[in-house]
Amino acid sequence: MKRRPLIAGNWKMNGSSAFAVSLAKELAAEPAGAAEVLICPPFPYLPAVVAAVQGSHVRVGGQNAWHEPPGAFTGEVSMDMLVDVGCKAVILGHSERRHILNENDALINSKVRAARAAGLQAILCVGELLEERDAGTTNAVLDTQMTGGLAGVDAALLDGIVIAYEPVWAIGTGRTASPAQAQEAHAHLRNWLRTRYNPAAADGMRILYGGSVKADNALELLQQPDVDGALVGGASLKAASFLPIIRAGNQAAK
């Protein structure tokens, strides 16, 4: 089954207002292609970036959000607030939030369900640490994170969910999972979906690869049969490095 590639840029905690608007305008000026394009700037720059890409093919998302309705949660941002400023998606369970900010599967699951209830596309990140890969427990780790992250999520809600496989050992390290390693993990995740849900849900789910994706490795990764796009970190911070990845997504879709 041919799935539309999704190329998502996670800007993490980088940039300024001027930087964000300038980069967003450069990306929006690129002609639309077969791949879907999403950019996720830091919270303070979301309204300006939404305005900068208005009328273009570029969608905007948040890097995280809180699962409760608006209320007394100092320092947090609700799903409704993301929707209010024009976001269409939100990244949840990123490895930095799991391993630096100690988010567990139960919390991430609450966020996934809250995102879908608010009408946001949820990008659920899963992936193993280097020691887990070396110990041969990658599949078990992925199974645990998928089971926890999608608890209580029925097949009807899966249309608005994207899985992002990000081997933690390949994020910001310059190391990248080989195309074969990426394909193996993605195929395992798709099989998990087939077993837990049904073949149609598994075939329809987009599974992105995230982990030191660059212009020179993007096409080979994106041409793997179960790799449906990329969640890009550092390379998404410059149009000169992000646009070639988008173009690779367009080419892989053919």
Q: Provide the annotated active-site residues.
A: 94, 166
What is the SS3 assignment for 199?
Answer: helix
What is the SS3 assignment for 139?
Answer: helix
CA distance 116 to 207: 17
Per DSSP, helices labelled H in 46-167 are: 46-52, 79-84, 95-99, 105-117, 130-134, 138-149
Tokens of 229: 């796009």
Nearest to 25 by CA among 64, 55, 63: 55
CA distance 150 to 154: 8
Place of tokens 């598994």: 202
- Residue 219 corresponds to which amino acid? L
Given a contact cutoff of 8 angstroms between Cβ atoms, the answer to whether 63 and 12 are in contact is: yes
DSSP 232: E
Tokens of 64: 């995280």
Place of tokens 């999403």: 38
CA distance 227 to 209: 6
What is the SS3 assignment for 151?
Answer: coil
Write the DSSP assignment of 134-193 as a string of letters.
Answer: HTT-HHHHHHHHHHHHTTT--GGGGGGEEEEE--GGGSSSS----HHHHHHHHHHHHHHH
